[in-house]
Amino acid sequence: MKKNFSEENPVIEHLKLLKKHGKLDEKALLEAIDVLSDQGDAELLREYLDEQSLVKAEIALNGKPISNPGMSMDGQIKILLTENGLPVGFNPRKELHILIVGEPGTGKTTLAVFSIASQAMSQGIKCWFFVKSRDVYKLIKLGFRIAIVDFDNEGRFKLCLPGALTNVSRQEKLSRYFDIFVQAEAVFDGTKNFLIEQTTELGKIYESYGADLSLFDLHEFIKERQRKDFPRGTRNYYFSESALNRINGVLDGPLGPSLDCSAGCFEGLVHENVIFFIGHLPATQQVQIVNVMTSDLFTYKNNNECDEEHYIITEDASTLFDVNYEKRPDRGAPVMNTHLAEARKARIKIIAVGQFPSLMGQGIFATSSLKIMFVLSDSRDTNKMLDCMGVQDEEERDFARHINKEKREVIVKFSSHEYNKAIFAVMPELPFIRELDSVTISKEEIENNNMQFSYLLDLIKPRLPYHEISVKSDEVAELEDVEAGVAHNILTDIYNRPFVNSTDRAIDLHLSNEKAKRVYRYIEDQQFVDPIFFNLTGRGGQSKFFSLSEKGSSFIQKPKKIYSGQNGKEHVFLQEFLGGFLKKNGYSGIEIEKVIDGRRYDLFCLNKDSQRIAVEICLTTFKTEYQKCIEPENQDRNVIVCADNDAKKKVIEELRGFKDSVEVYALHEFLKVFKG
């Protein structure tokens, strides 16, 4: 069998060796052509091979088995240098995702954050960093505008989960969020479906109030339903326990305060560079927050006009892209894999940085068009990377296993470049890194930095707690049938017995404390009544009364009662109240607004001894209210009734020399003195 020409011709083999090691130049080609053009001249061939022996020796000593491209690998973002000092870069709008792996201390985070991301931000690309090290905060020292979201107990920049995105249906938001939740929290489809059902039901309630629910509200809702509707031993009780345990773990941790809102500042963060510090969150919550924020960004950009490019940089790719997520079809396909595939449409690229590629799922390997491998100590990780880079030659693989950590040597593979083989390169030292090594960012510096993003706080809406909605929902349910409802009965009773306090009224009508509170709150919210407070005992606390409003009278189809008092609802109410009290206790001739000798008195009556008693109600300390009482010859007894002890003291002080001719009582004292 005839052998291939290149396999038996030493000149061709030599040319292939030169090309592999980046030493194939014009001179070498011309010399080879001369020899090949006269293949019968053995002497010429011998001389040629002798001349090339030095080149072979140099290659044997210093050559790299991994191919050198021999062509430009430069781009807009410059990241590495080839063996012969040529720049290696890429076009950010051409490359898809980037995977950078290496053991600790190799420089992978420096490459991702301070080299790639800093150049991207300089070119107008928005970068979101999900990091476990606060060293990334040093980017603000380089002059970049970056918001820092440190998930802590302050929770200043709040976020709403399951999310409050505009132009997205509630069902889409819930389905997407709980896909992430069950994968991160390792729960099963039964609990997921239960959560979607409960959140859908609660979401409809919140929608009627024009608000979005939070995880806090969902937790309250499920807990209440568990107590009322899910008996122990039932499937729903089991699902509710599973759901409550997982939600409680999120809310009780450092992430909780940042989720305490009805609407967060997410849609403002879309247009900013942001560092999310997740280092102190449990692993499940790290996965959840990165997935949710990334998913929300994809969803937002697919449903709104947003021309900005985004990079998402995550430091722990082996957790985020855990291969186990792909091994559990019962929990659904990993959400991140879906987004990896949709990245080009949304103009979002992932820079995944990790230490253990052997623990990562296939999604990130299949979609990353630029792969960079620093030193990896575990052979499983090295083999995984070399396999996905297409490095099969044993000599090349052995070389890749021994690249130098201190020299920051790497193996690189571009899937989108015309040169589609792995290459050897070195990460150059960035000039500002040594200066930043000694820099620390204080809490005060973070606060000062974040002041430029204070507008984000205006986007945050406070949470509408479920227990408040629950009360209102109960009120609506109880008061739908107005004809036979408790509210109608109470308003009618107020009409007939206006001077009974709220506590006694509830007892008389056989209402529980909770039901009375709900209905009283309802009739106040509807402005059917005006609440009035008086201290009738002299001790702490006040008795609450209700004055029926015109709207309340109309609601029960009764004519509005007209009272003779003219000085404000509390004053008029007290006139009627005391008039009824005196009549009940045997006083006669009771008149409200009695005019005697040209003076108008709030209340007039006769006691059993036919003494003429004039009563003036003093709810303030103005002399116009009591000066008519300082002439004792007008009546047998002149009495001033004050709202409380403090008002009484002020009145007595202002009366001065007339103290003995006028009786001054606090309301509770009057009720005791004039009883019986």
List all residues 6 or more positions away from 133 whose beta carbon is below 8 Å from its beta carbon: 109, 279, 315
Same domain, 580 and 617: yes
Which of 185-199, 290-304, 463-477, 578-592 has the least mean pLDDT?
463-477
**528-538 pLDDT per residue, tens:** 888 888 888 87
* Boundary (domain end) residue, out of 62, 80, 97: 62
Specify the higher pLDDT residue, 219 or 472. 219
Q: What is the CATH number of the domain that holds 628?
A: 3.40.1350.60
Question: Cis peptide leading into 462, omega within 30 of 0?
Answer: no
pLDDT surpassing 90 at residue 566 = no
Give mean pLDDT, residues 316-336: 74
Residue 567 scores a pLDDT above 70:
no
CB burial string 617-651: b at 16+ within 10 A, e below: bbbebeeebbebbbeeeebebbbbbbbeeebbeeb
219 pLDDT above the threshold of 90: yes
Chain position carrying tokens 């102190």: 280
What one-character-per-residue DSSP string does 389-427 give?
TT---HHHHHHHTT--TTTTEEEEEESSSSS-S-EEEEP
Q: Look at residue 424 and tell me if it is in a domain.
A: no
- What digits encode the pLDDT tens for the residues 105-125? 999 999 999 999 999 999 999
Distance, in Å, from the CA atom of 138 to the CA atom of 437, rounded to the nearest integer, reads 9
Q: How far apart are CA 179 and CA 181, in angstroms?
A: 6
From residue 344, alpha-carbon distances to 309, 311, 528 in Å are 10, 12, 59
- Those residues with Cβ within 8 angstroms of residue 649's Cβ, 6 or more apart along the chain or in another chain: none
281 close to 255: Cβ distance less than 8 angstroms = yes
Contacts of 271 (CB under 8 A, 6+ apart): 126, 308
CA atoms within 13 A on the CB side of 142: 21
Q: Could you tell me the two tokens for 613?
A: 């008693």
Residue 53 predicted with pLDDT over 70:
no
CA distance 78 to 85: 12
At residue 291, the 3 state secondary structure works out as: helix
- Domain end (from 508, 530, 555): 555
Tokens representing 391?
Answer: 């490095």
Residues near 460 by beta carbon (within 8 Å), at least 6 away in sequence: 158, 261, 263, 264, 265
Lowest mean pLDDT among 214-218, 231-235, 658-662: 658-662
Question: Are the beta carbons of 21 and 64 closer than 8 angstroms?
Answer: yes
- Structure token digits, residue 621: 């300390």
Same domain? For 645 and 580 the reply is yes
Is 277's pLDDT higher than 90? yes
Least confident of 302-316, 349-363, 652-666: 652-666
Taking the model in full, what pTM does it have? 0.63
Tell me the helix, strand and coil percentages in the chain, rounded to 5.
50, 15, 35
Residue-level pLDDT at 200 = 86
Q: Which residues of 259-296 are buried (b: 16+ CB within 10 A; e: fewer)?
A: bbbbbbbbbbbbebbbbbbbeebeebbbbbbbbbbbbb
Q: Is the pLDDT of residue 269 over 90?
A: yes
Among 321-325, 641-645, 663-667, where is mean pLDDT lowest?
Answer: 321-325
Indicate the average pLDDT of the chain: 82
CA distance 508 to 506: 5
Regarding whether 593 and 550 lie in a shared domain, the answer is no
Residues 539 and 605 in one domain: no
Classify burial at 136, counting beta carbons within 10 Å of its beta carbon; exposed 0-12, middle 13-18, buried 19 or more: buried
Residues 632 and 543 in one domain: no
> What confidence tens digit (pLDDT) does each residue in 599-612 have?
788 889 999 888 89
Residue at 344 is within a domain: no
- CA gyration radius, the chain: 41
**For residue 128, is it within any domain?**
no
Last residue of a domain, one of 527, 555, 583: 555
Residue 52 is assigned to a structural domain of this protein: yes
User: pLDDT digit string (tens) for 126-184?
Assistant: 999 999 989 999 999 999 999 999 887 666 888 887 755 666 677 777 777 887 887 78
Alpha helices (H) along 253-328:
266-269, 283-303, 317-320, 323-326
619 with 650, same domain: the answer is yes
Amino acid at 69: P
**Are residues 495 and 590 located together in one domain of the fold?**
no
The percent of residues in the chain predicted with pLDDT above 90, rounded, is: 25
Is residue 513 a part of any domain in this protein? yes
pLDDT at position 1: 38
Q: Are residues 653 and 606 in the same domain?
A: yes
626 and 576, same structural domain?
Answer: yes
| Candidate ranges 89-98, 381-390, 505-514, 632-641; pick with highest mean pLDDT | 381-390
CATH number, position 544: 1.10.10.10
Residue-level pLDDT at 14: 66
Residue 255 pLDDT level (bands cut at 50, 70, 90): confident
Out of 35-39, 391-395, 470-474, 663-667, which region has the weakest mean confidence (pLDDT)? 470-474
Residue 393 lies in a domain: no
Cα distance between residue 597 and residue 542, in whole Å: 37
pLDDT at 4: 43
pLDDT at 479 over 90: no
Please give the pLDDT value at position 318.
83
Query: Quick one: 594 and 656 in the same domain?
Result: yes
Q: Above 90 in pLDDT, residue 93? A: no
Quick one: tokens of 126?
A: 């928005």
Q: pLDDT tens for residues 454-474?
A: 898 888 888 888 887 776 555
Q: Is the pLDDT confidence value at 73 over 50?
A: yes
Contact in structure between 517 and 525 (CB atoms under 8 Å)? no
Q: 591 in a domain, yes or no? A: yes
Q: Which residues contact 476 (CB under 8 A, 6 or more apart)?
A: none
Q: Are 640 and 618 members of one domain?
A: yes
Q: How far apart are CA 635 and CA 299, in angstroms?
A: 82
Indicate whether 395 belongs to any domain. no
Residues 6+ apart with CB under 8 A from 585: 674, 675, 676
Q: 496 and 532: one domain?
A: yes
Domain coverage including residue 504: 481-555
Number of domains present in the structure of the chain: 3
